[in-house]
Amino acid sequence: MNAKRWIAIGIVAALLVVSGITKITSTLLASDDEYKMSWAESLTAMDSEMTEMVLEDGDQDKRIAVLHIDGAIQDTGSSDSLLGGSEGYNHTDFMDQLEQIREDDTVAGVILNVNSPGGGVVESAQIRDKILQIKKEKTLPVYVSFGSMAASGGYYVSAPADKIFASPETLTGSIGVIMQGYDFSELMKKVGISDNTIKSGEFKDIMSSSRPMTAEEKAIMQSMIDDSYGQFVKVVAQGRHMTEAEVRKIADGRIYDGRQAKANGLIDAFGYEENALDALKKEQDLKGAEVFEYDSSGGGFASIFSTSISQIVGQKSEAHQALQLMNMMEAPRLMYLYGK
């Protein structure tokens, strides 16, 4: 372990000591039912505040919110740890931004930029349901701009949009569901590893990596895949004003480029974020509107400290690598995902 890591550990230890002393002091000073926030909790509250960044000045009574989905759509937990959050898409932050839009009466339109291979079935459904809730309660127009990829779950969350823009080179589609696992049983035999699983029911270890799946197990899992696939088809049919039969003809899991997607009715026009924004302003009577985006990273002490620690320890520390390995070894799950 090098000197920088020892310094980082020392800083963390010092903060833990200070936090502990503060907590004890605040407890001793509390003499009534009104609880005063401790120093540590105050920092958390500061960091949890969602700030805004103005991208274009304009009318503050009718504003356009710009949102981003960049990366795999997975709920990997909160990003407010003192040791730094995950890079890329953060599900908790994104859902908070959608809720903020629902509560903000000044927001008159939304631009959603999607650059994602998809992700979890549950997370994708949460985003889509929240967008539909916002559109129903506030009748807000939602325009979507695809980046280099908006596949599977990336398309699922975009389907309710009023209009979808993509580059001719964008990869999209991949309408379908996948669940993957591995069978290491033959390798285990070669290296002398045996499985000692004890289970309460026949299917408790379904999709275990230590043995092949039975025909009955495959049928069980296929029924789950078919259910989720059916939901995906309905979402696309409703969002794109197509029949389910029409969607099923193009929803065999294949990827489409932007040209093919437009020919199949999956997008509305070619263009990028600026084109989607211009169209939203022109078509939804939002010319002169202020354009902004949320900055959920905040500017509190915890954010500053986490950045400093990341610089000292490095993004590819042993702990970071261990967490990545654990994520790779997690249980199989239903995914609206293109690639792996």
The DSSP string of 92-152 is: HHHHHHHHHHHH-TTEEEEEEEEEE-EEEHHHHHHHHHHHHHHHHHH---EEEEEEEEEET
Q: 115: which residues sit within 8 A by CB, 6+ positions away?
A: 68, 69, 70, 71, 146, 147, 148, 149, 150, 154
Query: 178, exposed or middle or buried, with CB in 10 Å at 0-12, 13-18, 19+?
Result: buried
Q: Which residues pair with 73 in a beta bridge?
A: 119
The CATH T-level fold of domain 50-297+326-337 is: 2-enoyl-CoA Hydratase; Chain A, domain 1 (3.90.226)
pLDDT tens per residue across all 340 residues of the chain: 555 555 555 665 665 555 555 555 444 444 444 444 444 454 444 445 579 999 999 999 999 999 999 999 998 765 544 444 446 799 999 999 999 999 999 999 999 999 999 999 999 999 999 999 999 999 999 999 999 999 999 999 999 999 999 999 999 999 999 999 999 999 999 999 999 999 999 999 999 999 999 999 999 999 999 999 999 999 999 999 999 999 999 999 999 999 999 999 999 999 999 999 999 999 999 999 999 999 865 554 444 454 455 455 454 455 554 554 455 446 678 899 897 6
Q: Specify whether 204 is catalytic.
A: yes
Bin 152: left if φ > 0, else alpha if -120 < ψ < 50, else beta: left
> Domain boundaries in the chain?
50-297+326-337
Query: 41, exposed or middle or buried, with CB in 10 Å at 0-12, 13-18, 19+?
Result: middle
H/E segment holding residue 86: none
The one catalytic residue among 152, 208, 303, 306 = 152
The one catalytic residue among 4, 199, 204, 218 = 204
